[in-house]
Every structure is written in C-alpha cells, then in structure tokens.
C-alpha cells in the first residue's frame, strides 16, 4: 500500500516523463529538471509533451529533447503538473502505454488522482518545488543544469515570488537552487522582462474588447487578432494576469477563441476569491487564483455561461465570508 515515488523509480529502467499540453514554465522546468536527475541515476528517460516547448524556455538545457512522439516501450510514466489525464494530450493516447504504472506529481488543488501513485501537494507553489524534494530524496546531487530548470518552474509559477502561496519553503527551495548554480537574475529577466513584439500587438487588439461586469473584468482574443499580430501561439500572452491588476476587479477572464472551434478560458482572481471550482465544473482545473478550461462553442455563448457561473461563485463566496 505504501508505494512511494522513490520505490517505483527504483524498480524502473525506461521512464517516460510527460508534462501538460501548452506547457508553461513549471511544466517545462519540472520535466527537464527531473529528466536530468533521473539520468544521473542511470535511468533511460524520454521527455514528452503534446505541444512544443515555447521559445522563451528554449534557453533551458535539454529543451530540444522534448518530443511529441515518444518511441519504444516504458516501464514507468511520471506525469508532471497535470491535474487530469486529458492534460497529457495525444502523447498518452498510444495503446502501448495502457497498464504502465503512473506516478502523478502535481500541485493543482483540482488534481483527480489518476495515477498509480499520486503525490499531490496544493501547498507547493509549483511542481518544480516538489521535484526538488524528490531529487533530494533520491539522493541525486544538484548541479547547475538541474537547478536552473527547477528554479525556472518556481519563478514562473510564483510570478517572481509574488503569489500569495509563496511560502518560506518555496524561498528556501530557491536558495538551495541558487546555491547549486541556478542564475536567478537571468531566469527572471528571461521569463518576465522580454517578450515578442507580437505579444504586445496582441494585447493592443485584445485590450480594445475589455469590459467590466460587476466584479469581473474580461477580454477576448480571436483567430483574426492572432493572425493580424503575427502571434503564432495558442495562449493569451499573459493577458489574464495583467487584467487582474485592475483595482475594480476581483476576477479576470480571457476568452481565447481557437481555430478548431474551441474557446480556451483563462481565469485569475484576487486572494480570497477562488476560481478553481468553476474551472473544474467546466471540465478544467487549476489553482484558487489561476485556473482554466477549454470548451466548444461560440464566443458569445461561452462568455455568457462562464460569466454567469463566475458571478454565482463570487456571490456565494462573498456571502459566506
């Protein structure tokens, strides 16, 4: 009963590590950091993600090794930063992976515990913070490569140590990683202070659509906007995190229409307001202050449904406090 991640890793030789679709800095950093550490133990590791590593994370050592077509057979799968199996995307669809044990390492409060072993810690700022703990438990000495990948995860998920869940533990983890050679200033500069001009152009277009409805600020992104701005990614270029800085809002939402008819909905909230349950009710997931989901439908219909659900959640949360 007491199977731990360490015992499963100990017994495994060919390990497939998978992070979530549309990977963020924590997903990529945890994937690469754990991959490097397991190789130190002599394990064969394949690092997989259904979507490409975003260019801002190409500076991380090993980012070019991430594949969307894992080859061969595996005796263990480790999922990172994924709250449900669908977040693994098409890399997990292969018949060959049915029955392979899964270690599920994640910090999302909405995790549905789909693994053989589930290590889910919603008090961790990031999956990378948990991976650091695992690497230490496995007795792998830290080096600059592992430390840089893991610090990238902590820095991005705490938005530079600014989120309310930034604990002493997270700060101490960061110190450990800096001591091992991770370049904090370089990471911070890389992930927060530089962005493609296309992102800024997309903001300019999307910000025209901003509306405030009660405590909710929202904006839209359409395929036409992305085309006009030369924006080639699927995300919101950080727009939801920007919108939640509006004094007047408790909740920010970006409705991001994809070419395939889906609308990706990204939400942020101020401390004390929880948007993760609404995300879960629409089939997605996330954290109290940052959550999301994808849904089929037209932009106006989705918007109406989601704003109604968020207003309801906001009212319930405000009446109970």
**List of residues 6+ apart from 151 with CB closer than 8 A:** 29, 128, 174, 177, 178, 182, 184, 187
Window 200-239: contact mask with ligand 5GP (x via CB under 6 A): ----------------------------------------
User: Binding segment for Mn ion among 119-127, 162-170, 229-237, 308-316 (CB under 5 A)?
Assistant: 119-127
* Contact partners, residue 308, CB within 8 Å, separation at least 6: none
- Shortest reach from residue 198's CB to ligand 5GP, in Å: 18
CB of residue 86 to ligand 5GP, shortest distance in Å? 7
Number of residues that bind Mn ion (CB under 5 A): 5
43 binds ligand 5GP (CB under 6 A): no
Among Mn ion, ligand 5GP, none, the one that 282 touches (CB under a kind-dependent 5 to 8 A) is: none
Is 81 a residue that touches Mn ion (CB under 5 A)? yes
User: Which range touches ligand 5GP (CB under 6 A), out of 1-9, 214-222, 289-297, 303-311?
Assistant: 289-297
Query: Of these partners, ligand 5GP, Mn ion, none, which one is at the site of residue 286 (CB under 5 to 8 Å by kind)?
Result: ligand 5GP
Q: Considering beta carbons, is residue 31 or 302 the nearer one to Mn ion?
A: 31
Q: Is 240 one of the binding residues for ligand 5GP (CB under 6 A)?
A: yes
CB closer to ligand 5GP, 70 vs 285:
285
Q: What's the token pair of residue 275?
A: 């948007």
Report what 26 binds from Mn ion, ligand 5GP, none; CB cut-off 5-8 Å by kind.
Answer: Mn ion
Give the 3-state secondary structure of the chain.
CCCCHHHHHHHCCEEEEEECCCCCHHHHHHHHHHHHHHHHCCCEEEEECCCCCCHHHCCCCCHHHCECCCCCCCCEEEEECCCCHHHHHHHHCCHHHCCCCEEEEECCCCCCCCCCEEEECCCCCCHHHHHHHHHHHCCCCCCHHHHHHHHHHHHHHCCCCCCCCCCHHHHHHHHHHHHCCCCHHHHHHHHHHCCCHHHHHHHHHHHCCCEEECCEEEEEECHHHHHHHCCCCCCCCCHHHHHCCCCCCCEEEEEEECCCCEEEEEEEECCCCCCHHHHHHCCCEEECCEEEEEEECCHHHHHHHHHHHHHHHHHHHHHCC
CB of residue 304 to Mn ion, shortest distance in Å: 30
Least spacing, CB of residue 275 vs ligand 5GP, in Å: 9
Tell me which stretch binds ligand 5GP (CB under 6 A): 120-128, 172-180, 278-286, 310-318. 278-286
Q: Which is nearer to Mn ion, 146 or 154 (CB)?
A: 154
As a whole number of angstroms, the distance between CA 108 and CA 126 comes to 9
CB of 100 to ligand 5GP, least distance (A): 22
Site for ligand 5GP in 258-277 (CB under 6 A): 266
With contacts defined by CB under 5 A, name the span among 50-58, 76-84, 117-125, 137-145 that binds Mn ion: 76-84
Q: Which of 8, 53, 87, 182 binds ligand 5GP (CB under 6 A)?
A: 87
Structure tokens at 77: 């799968």
The site for ligand 5GP (CB under 6 A) is made up of 83-84, 87, 240, 266, 284-287, 290-294
């Amino acid at each position: 009963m007491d199977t731990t991640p360490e015992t499963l890793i100990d017994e495994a030789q060919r390990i497939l590590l998978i992070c979530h679709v549309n990977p963020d800095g924590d997903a990529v950093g945890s994937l690469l950091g754990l991959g490097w550490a397991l190789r130190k133990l002599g394990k064969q590791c394949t690092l997989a993600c259904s979507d490409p590593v975003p260019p801002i994370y190409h500076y991380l050592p090993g980012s070019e090794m991430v594949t969307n077509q894992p080859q061969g057979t595996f005796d263990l799968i480790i999922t990172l930063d994924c709250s449900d199996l669908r977040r693994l995307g098409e890399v997990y669809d292969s018949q060959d992976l049915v029955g392979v044990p899964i270690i599920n390492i994640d910090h999302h409060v909405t995790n549905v515990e789909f693994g053989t072993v589930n290590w889910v810690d919603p008090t961790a700022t990031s999956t990378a913070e948990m991976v650091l703990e695992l690497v230490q438990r496995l007795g792998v000495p830290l080096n600059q490569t592992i430390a840089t990948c893991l610090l990238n995860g902590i820095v991005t998920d705490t938005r530079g140590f600014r989120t309310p869940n930034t604990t002493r533990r997270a700060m101490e983890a960061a110190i450990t990683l800096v001591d091992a050679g991770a370049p904090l200033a370089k990471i911070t500069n890389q992930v927060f202070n530089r962005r493609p001009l296309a992102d800024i152009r997309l903001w300019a277009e999307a910000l025209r659509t901003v509306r405030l409805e009660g405590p909710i600020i929202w904006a839209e992104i359409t395929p036409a906007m992305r085309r006009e701005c030369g924006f080639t990614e699927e995300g919101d270029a950080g727009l939801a995190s920007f919108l939640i800085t509006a004094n007047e809002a408790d909740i920010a939402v970006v409705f991001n229409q994809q070419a395939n008819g889906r609308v990706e909905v990204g939400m942020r909230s101020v401390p004390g307001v929880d948007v993760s349950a609404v995300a879960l009710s629409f089939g997605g997931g996330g954290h109290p202050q940052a959550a999301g989901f994808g849904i089929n439908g037209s932009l106006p219909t989705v918007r109406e449904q989601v704003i109604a659900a968020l207003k309801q959640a906001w009212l319930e949360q405000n009446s109970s406090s």
